[in-house]
């Protein structure tokens, strides 16, 4: 399989640990190991006595059981744990698609959601979100894109990078379309739980549709990317069986310490997510003020969910803008061109506590630019 470089991840590999101020991280505030273990009495001792042999290939039974609490009536046997969401995407695309198949991907998209399918030999069509309509993709457009060969439709809600979140009827309509046309919905839900109004939380696709696959991870909502624990949840037994067998060629089984720590974190899923939503709400107040003050430069659409948004740059090229900001002020934004040449926008991330500090540096830079423009 030949894959093009993952532009966004290459950009992060270059800058993430070198740039002084990160303003585009997609994950929420993390925590130290001690803080996580302190969530439960005795956890520290259990962790010290943890056995470090091979683990059960589908995932630790207690972890899988705990993951089911995020769904509505799924059993532990309908969950397959992976090394992050990324491994699950890779394995799903390899199992669900063969050369000559067709897949439709909600766009703009996190590159692996389309690139792995392309590597498998599938034809990839974009199902584009409409920036004029709060980044909502149109179900009629999807219907028009479907062919006899369409095996998979990828949806990502809450959406990276726009923060778009539809009403629940959108999910049910997509599910009905899948029933009629026979494609499998691969639903990337890695930001689920970060709805600004928890009443807006969508039902998981695996709860709505018998064939669909829901993707979850510890990295975003729970801020625990370093655990590298992700999962798929599905009622599609045939697909789950094939993915389990495919995993023998990727990681075989998961990291025992990570599974243990993820289990503890998910037993406290709601309180960790609430903490992160509070950080997001606080940061969004700063962003609202910033974008209001600089509406001549940026078009801001306040997201309904998630820890990222995709404001448009109204002047000049976003690549030049982001390069200059990094060089002059040490602030890292993610140019939208990494999602495709048509996006003169940038990804801003606001799940971390130190965001206001990075935003202040950004604002100083903008004010200097404006000062230079004045006659
Ligand atoms: C939409 C989406 N899906 C999947 C992933 C991969 O998650 P992980 O890095 O935890 O494997 C990301 C990470 O940025 C993402 O934004």
Handedness of CA 358, 360, 365, 370 (dihedral sign): positive
Average pLDDT of the chain to the nearest whole number? 96
Distance 372 CA to ligand 1 centre (A): 39
Decide: residue 76, CB within 10 A, 0-12 exposed, 13-18 middle, 19+ buried.
middle
Phi, psi of 6 (to 5 degrees): -80, 95
Residues linked to residue 239 through DSSP beta bridges, in sequence order: none
- Residue 370's pLDDT band, with cuts at 50, 70 and 90, is confident
Q: Name residue 107's beta-bridge partners.
A: 128
CA distance 355 to 287: 10
Average pLDDT score over residue span 259-286: 98
| pLDDT at residue 88, as a whole number | 98
Give the nearest ligand 1 atom to 85 CA.
11
Distance CA 2, CA 279 (A): 40
**Which one is predicted more confidently, 341 or 240?**
240
- Is any ligand 1 atom within 6 A of the Cβ of residue 230? yes
pLDDT at 299: 97
My answer on whether omega of the bond before 161 falls inside 30° of 0, hence cis, is yes
Could you tell me the distance, in angstroms and rounded to a whole number, from the CA of residue 85 to the centre of ligand 1? 6
3-class secondary structure, 140: helix
pLDDT value of position 371: 83
- What is the pTM for the complete model shown? 0.97
Name every residue whose Cβ is closer than 8 Å to that of residue 261 and which is 6 or more positions away in sequence.
33, 36, 37, 47, 224, 227
Q: Yes or no: say if 283 and 355 are a contact pair by the CB < 8 Å rule.
A: yes
Q: What is the mean pLDDT of residues 271-300?
A: 97
Q: How far is the CA of 219 from the centre of ligand 1 (A)?
A: 8
State pLDDT tens for residues 215-230: 999 999 999 999 999 9
pLDDT at 181 over 70: yes
Q: Is the pLDDT of residue 372 over 90?
A: no
Q: Are 288 and 302 in contact (CB under 8 A)?
A: yes
Ligand 1 and 87: CB distance under 6 A: no
Alpha-carbon distance of 185 to 211, in angstroms, equals 7
User: 3-state DSSP call for residue 243?
Assistant: helix
First to last CA, the chain: 56
Show Cβ contacts of residue 45 under 8 Å, excluding neighbours closer than 6 positions. none
Cα 113 to averaged position of ligand 1 atoms, centre (Å) = 9
Strands (E), 146-244: 150-156, 184-188, 213-217, 230-234
> 75 with 240: CB under 8 angstroms?
no
With a 6 A CB cut-off, is 190 part of the ligand 1 pocket?
A: yes
Among candidate residues 289, 362, 349, the one with its CA nearest the CA of residue 23? 349
Q: Closest ligand 1 atom, CA of 84?
A: 11
Structure tokens at 36: 């996580």
pLDDT digits (tens, 9 = 90+) for 83-141: 999 999 999 999 999 999 999 999 999 999 999 999 999 999 999 999 999 999 999 99
Instruction: Place 82 in a pLDDT band, splitting at 50, 70 and 90.
Output: very high
Closest atom of ligand 1 relative to the 228 alpha carbon: 10
Spacing, Cα 286 to ligand 1 middle (Å): 25
Q: 373 forms bridges with which residues in the sheet?
A: none
Strand segments, DSSP code E, in 163-270 are 184-188, 213-217, 230-234
> Per the structure block, which two tokens stand in for 47?
């962790």
Question: Ligand 1: does its nearest atom lie under 6 Å from the Cβ of 334?
Answer: no
Q: Is the dihedral of CA 325, 330, 336, 337 positive or negative?
A: positive
pLDDT at 374: 65
**CA-closest residue to ligand 1 atom 2:** 110
Identify whether the C-beta of residue 80 lies closer than 8 Å to the C-beta of residue 231. yes
Contact 119, 164 (CB under 8 A): no
Our measurement of the distance from residue 73's CA atom to the centroid of its chain's CA atoms, rounded to an integer in Å, reads 24
How far apart, in whole angstroms, are the C-alpha atoms of residue 283 and residue 240?
39
């Amino acid at each position: 399989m030949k894959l093009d470089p993952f532009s966004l991840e290459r950009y992060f590999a270059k800058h993430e640990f070198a740039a002084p101020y990160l303003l585009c991280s997609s994950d929420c505030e993390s925590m130290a190991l001690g803080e996580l273990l302190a969530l439960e009495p005795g956890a520290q001792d259990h962790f010290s006595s943890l056995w470090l042999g091979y683990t059960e290939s589908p995932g630790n039974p207690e972890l899988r059981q705990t993951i089911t609490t995020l769904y509505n009536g799924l059993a532990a046997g309908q969950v397959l744990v992976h090394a992050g969401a990324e491994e699950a995407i890779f394995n799903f695309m390899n199992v669900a698609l063969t050369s000559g198949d067709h897949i439709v991907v909600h766009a703009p998209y996190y590159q692996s959601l389309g690139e792995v399918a392309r590597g498998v030999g599938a034809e990839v069509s974009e199902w584009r979100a409409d920036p004029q309509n709060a980044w909502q993709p149109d179900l009629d457009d999807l219907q028009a894109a479907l062919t006899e060969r369409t095996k998979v439709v990828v949806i990502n809600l809450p959406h990276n990078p726009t923060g778009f979140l539809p009403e629940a009827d959108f999910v049910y309509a997509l599910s009905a379309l899948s029933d009629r046309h026979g494609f499998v919905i691969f639903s990337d839900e890695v930001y689920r739980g970060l709805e600004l109004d928890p009443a807006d939380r969508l039902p998981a696709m695996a709860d709505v549709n018998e064939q669909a696959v829901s993707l979850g991870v510890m990295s975003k909502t729970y801020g625990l990317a370093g655990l590298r624990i992700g999962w798929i949840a599905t009622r599609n037994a045939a697909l789950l069986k094939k993915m389990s067998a495919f995993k023998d060629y990727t990681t075989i089984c998961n990291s025992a310490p990570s599974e243990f720590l993820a289990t503890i974190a998910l037993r406290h899923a709601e309180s960790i997510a609430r903490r992160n939503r509070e950080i997001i709400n606080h940061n969004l107040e700063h962003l609202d003020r910033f974008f209001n003050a600089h509406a001549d430069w940026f078009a801001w659409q306040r997201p309904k969910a998630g820890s990222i948004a995709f404001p448009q740059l109204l002047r000049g090229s976003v690549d030049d803008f982001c390069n200059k900001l990094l060089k002059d002020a040490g602030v890292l934004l993610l140019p939208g061109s990494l999602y495709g040449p048509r996006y003169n926008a940038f990804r801003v991330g606001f799940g971390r506590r130190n965001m206001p500090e990075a935003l202040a540096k950004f604002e100083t830079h903008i004010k200097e630019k404006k000062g230079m423009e004045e006659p």
